[in-house]
Structure 1
């Protein structure tokens, strides 16, 4: 829409050649909302006609009437050796380096920061690789895959995976009723047995098939659900898709739970745009008045992005084990 073409060409504004409504007698009213659709690398502002107006790097979501950028802050730490742990040595750690991640929401207008998920505690560990990766979003709900690979000086290390759901409006964890129906559990059992190649003990009862994650995804531009199920397996039999001692399978369901049905509704032109961009992972709806802010005309986002890049470059250049770097991914 012409009245929304406010950003400069340097910011990848798609709509161009717009004139001021005051000087254009046929200018149409600005739509009341915009859809923020993000992929792995960028977020794009789409109007209700399916037209892209602006894009920016990273993941940006609407949090009520505000816009927030989601950042992963990676921290490098030095861990104790197993000897130090066994001897309760309180001296300086002398073991391997590890990494852990904190997830932060940065308000685009002010630069205010809110921690969404904290980095994992490394106490008692001789090795740690911890990450928090946004995998999907719908409305204010952000779905984050948390993965921790740890070694506590036992027979072997272990991996723990979990799906976290965050309400970015409040920064709190959300408890949404997204659970799969019993018919999907039966399908998951059949899939696990077929894919397990003898790695799963039989008979596998329905109650032994555990749903561990339910995530909204796009299929042909519309929202469907991917439900992840696991079954126990021996350590060497695990498939690495979820936590240690498990094998996992994903069952797709076109039915959208009532808890997120309203957030899943979108105009058909927006659905067509998403279908044409298969990398899309999430969307939220923002007031049209936030377009100029999204496109970079004002707010604290530009300097914050530069600071994040500088922090990353500094950590990589100095190798400082205590340095934390910020990035959208």
Structure 2
């Protein structure tokens, strides 16, 4: 046994020396391995403290976006909807511009005076039109929906926009165009929820179903909708047209209320979406994890679940966008 212990000691010494020599011979690779081994290991609490999340909430009837760390401490706040993206924070802003549009009262007078055909272009008048766009507070880039830049001269029209929230780096804005051809039987409304993905180098428009899977027709069999709730709809015509994100305290993650529209007669329209449609809603539908991201750390989950806030987004903020200044 004594001789065995001596042999083990010599072997151990040779092993230690060998490791040292191997490290010396390893050059840069050996140095990097040693440096990596000596680097401090970031624990879960440290990762949560260093992470940032953009949380959009409804405050006094308006959207406000606050930046929290994973422990639930607030670091900054923005007015309105702000969506974190790969190149910075994209802020939704609205403004107005002057446009020329026909005065339908003038067109009616033309017809009453016996004109064979109305001439809307002879009745143009200036009015203010609402505009909207996403602006990158880091790069200064902007993206605007086409509908907010148009100026048709053959009809009266008006655009309304409602920023809704975000799913990950995808911002949601509902846009409706109300238009009327002077002398027509009635005006018409066309609505669309715009989903803009800011996770890449350039903004990309995506489909709503890319964020939350639509239900099949079997979910709407036998459904009756309308102002009198007696309008029968075709289940196979169900179209997922919009999402409204909300925080689910039990799940500890963002979910979605889905808005479905069905074709109907003009008089049957319920005013919830475009003309010639009636609507129904499905609550607490899951968002796709690859878009919404993983659940936030426990500290932030606890804060949101206990707050009672109307939460419209919980989006991870890329590190390069963390230092973006708050917007008043």
TM-score of the superposed pair, with normalisation by structure 2:
0.68
Question: Shift of the alpha carbon at 1:207?
Answer: 1.2
Equivalence map 1:17-166=2 (5 Å) = 31-39=49-57, 40-82=62-104, 83=107, 87-88=118-119, 90=121, 93-94=124-125, 97=127, 99-105=129-135, 107-110=136-139, 112-118=140-146, 119=148, 121-153=150-182, 154-166=184-196
**Gap change, CA 1:211 and 1:189, over 3 Å in 2:** farther
Between stretches 83-92 and 220-229, larger displacement belongs to 83-92
Look up the match of 1:278. Answer: 309
Whether contact under 8 Å (1:187, 1:251) holds in the other structure is no
Between stretches 205-214 and 224-233, larger displacement belongs to 205-214
Q: Tell me, which stretches of 5 or more residues in structure 1 are unaligned? A: 1-27, 296-300, 306-329
Question: Shift of the alpha carbon at 1:199?
Answer: 4.3
Q: Tell me, which stretches of 5 or more residues in structure 2 are unaligned? A: 1-45, 112-116
The answer on 1:173 being equivalent to 2:209 is no
How far does the alpha carbon of each residue in 1:111-151 deviate from its partner, in whole angstroms, 9 at most, with x for none?
x1312423152314432220222202022101110111111
Whether contact under 8 Å (1:73, 1:104) holds in the other structure is no
Look up the match of 1:209. Answer: 238
**Gap change, CA 1:92 and 1:137, over 3 Å in 2:** same
**Gap change, CA 1:210 and 1:283, over 3 Å in 2:** same
Whether contact under 8 Å (2:226, 2:268) holds in the other structure is no
**Gap change, CA 1:135 and 1:37, over 3 Å in 2:** same
The answer on 1:266 being equivalent to 2:300 is no
Whether contact under 8 Å (2:159, 2:176) holds in the other structure is yes
Separation (CA, whole Å) in 1 of partners of 2:244 and 2:310: 15
Separation (CA, whole Å) in 2 of partners of 1:188 and 1:137: 27
Separation (CA, whole Å) in 2 of partners of 1:80 and 1:47: 52
The answer on 1:224 being equivalent to 2:255 is yes
**Runs (4+) off by over 6 Å:** none
TM-score of the superposed pair, with normalisation by structure 1:
0.68
Equivalent position SS for 1:243: coil
Question: Shift of the alpha carbon at 1:214?
Answer: 3.9
**Gap change, CA 1:136 and 1:42, over 3 Å in 2:** closer
Question: Shift of the alpha carbon at 1:45?
Answer: 1.3
**Gap change, CA 1:48 and 1:259, over 3 Å in 2:** closer
**Gap change, CA 1:140 and 1:97, over 3 Å in 2:** same
Question: Shift of the alpha carbon at 1:277?
Answer: 4.5
Aligned residue pairs, count: 261
Equivalent position SS for 2:246: strand
Higher relative contact order (CA 8 A, sep 6+): 1
